[in-house]
Structure 1
C-alpha cells in the first residue's frame, strides 16, 4: 500500500478521477491507447533527443510506454514516470519488470507541486499528460525547476476540437442532439493546450525558450473492427450516454455504430486527428 500523494487543491477532481474510475478504464485499455498513439509515439521520442546517459522525467506517464522506451534508449541513465493513477502505475511497474528495465521507476505524485529536486533531469516528456493540470502555470514552473538549464521539455497535446474528427464526432453523437458549448479554455480538458499563443505564454513565463509547435496530423486508430471500436468509444463516453433518456440513447448508439462502420478501413477503424508536438528549452 502506497501513501496517498499530496495533491494541489486545483487538481483534487482530477486525482479522484484518475485514481478512480477513469484510471481503471484506461488501465484496462492501456494497450488500445498505445495502439492509438502509435503514429505519434516515435515523433515524441525523436524530438526529446534522449541520449544514452540521459535522465528523463515522464509527466502523466499512464501505463508507462514512453517511460519504458525512454529508459531503453538511456541505458546508462534513468527514466522516472509520474502519474496520479495508482492502477496505471501498478501496470507500468509490472511491464517494466517484465521487460527487465531496472532504470525505469514510477511514482504516484501531482507533478504540479511534487518536489523532483532542482535541475535533476536532462529531459522532461509528456504524452497527453499536461493538459489536465488545474494550474498549468504552476505546473510548468515546477517542471522547469526539475530540468537542468538547457534541458528539453517535449509534450504531445491535442489540437483544437474542430481539428479532431474522432473526438468531435463522438462528443456530438453522445450529446443526443443537445448543443454543446466549446470546451472552456482554462479548464483541465484535453484541449486546454490547443492554443499556440497560450502555450507559448505559459512556457515562457515558466522559464522556457526556443518554443516550437509542430503540427502532427494523421488518422488515429480506434479498433480492429466495428464492434471493437464501438466497445472502446462507448466506454469512453459512457457518462455522456447515461445522461440521455432511453430513446435518445438508443438513437445515439445506432448513430455511433453507423459512423464507426463508415470509418472502417483495411487497417481498422480510423478517424482524423491532430496534435501539437511542443518542444521547448529550459533557460
Structure 2
C-alpha cells in the first residue's frame, strides 16, 4: 500500500512540476478565479496578527500569500510536493515584499513539523488529490495547536463546474479512456457533501461546518479558455496526449463550439462551485 501511495505522489509531483510554467503564465487569471474561495477560507480561520499559519498543497502560493500580507507579526509556511510550483510562490512573495512567507517541500501525509506548531491551517484544492486523505487530515490536526482552526476547499460536483466538464466531457465523448478506480485522486473526488467534514471529525476536529462558494473563470474568449485549460490542467493534458493531431483538433473544435454556444455574446465567464469546510481542534 505504501509503495502504491508513493507512486501516486511521485506521479503528481512530476505532473505539477511539468505544468508549473503554465501556472506561472496564467497565475493572475487563476488566482482571481480562486480568490473568492481563498477569501472564504481566510474568513473562517479567525486569524490574529501574530499567528503562525501553515498552507498545505500551496501550489503557486495562495491563499498563503494573502494570509502573509494580512498578518502583522505572524508568518506563513507554505508546503507542496512540487518544488517548481513553490518557486513561483517564492518569486511572488519576493515581488510583493512579503518577508513573513516561506516555503517547504513536504507531503500532506508526512508534515515535517512538531506537534502543535501552527495556530491555523489552510488548504485550498488539495484534499481531492491526496493519496490518503484521512492521513493528511490527521497530520494537519497533529501539527495544529489546541483551539486552532483548519479550513479547506474542494470542488463541488461536475454539474456545477462547467469549466472542467466542457473539456473533459468532449474528451470522454471522443476517446475511450479507462475510468479511474473508485476513490482515486481527482477533481470531483470530494464533491459529496459531508465527505471532507467526516474526515475532519474522524481526525478529531469539532465545530465542523461546510458552505458552498461560487466563482467565475473570466477567460474572456473560448480560445483563451482552451489555452488556459490545456496549459494548467494536468488531467486534460494527459488525456489529450493520448490523441493524435487530428483527434486533438477535433476535440478543440468541439470544445470551442460548446463554449461559444453557452456564451454567445462572447464574454466567457464560466461559473464554478466549491465547498469550503472548516473545523476547530
- Asked if Structure 1 and Structure 2 have the same fold, meaning a TM-score greater than 0.5 normalized by the shorter chain, the answer is yes
Cα distance, 1:262 vs. partner?
Answer: 3.3
Write the distance in 1 (CA, Å) between the matches of 2:178 and 2:165. 12
Cα distance, 1:241 vs. partner?
Answer: 2.4
Tell me which residue corresponds to 2:270.
271
Contact kept in structure 2, 1:10 and 1:135, CA below 8 Å: no
Tell me which residue corresponds to 1:280.
279
TM-score (norm 2): 0.88
- SS of the residue aligned with 1:260? helix
Tell me which residue corresponds to 2:117.
120
Higher helix share: 2
Cα distance, 1:22 vs. partner?
Answer: 3.1
CA deviation profile, 1:224-283 (whole Å, cap 9, x unmatched)? 32322221123332332232344443322111112232344889422231110101111x
Write the distance in 2 (CA, Å) between the matches of 1:261 and 1:273. 17
Cα distance, 1:193 vs. partner?
Answer: 1.9
- SS of the residue aligned with 2:128? coil
* One of 203, 208, 216 as aligned partner of 1:206: 203
* One of 46, 51, 62 as aligned partner of 1:49: 46
Write the distance in 1 (CA, Å) between the matches of 2:149 and 2:185. 24
Tell me which residue corresponds to 1:251.
250
TM-score (norm 1): 0.87
Distance 1:10 1:205, change over 3 A: farther
Cα distance, 1:65 vs. partner?
Answer: 3.0
- SS of the residue aligned with 1:65? coil
Tell me which residue corresponds to 1:171.
168
Displaced runs of 4 or more, over 6 A = 179-182
- SS of the residue aligned with 2:164? helix
Tell me which residue corresponds to 1:92.
89
Q: Which moved more, 1:167-176 or 1:231-240?
A: 231-240
Aligned length: 274
RMSD over equivalenced CA pairs, Å: 2.4
Cα distance, 1:170 vs. partner?
Answer: 1.4
Tell me which residue corresponds to 2:11.
13
Match status 1:231 vs 2:227? yes
Contact kept in structure 1, 2:56 and 2:79, CA below 8 Å: yes
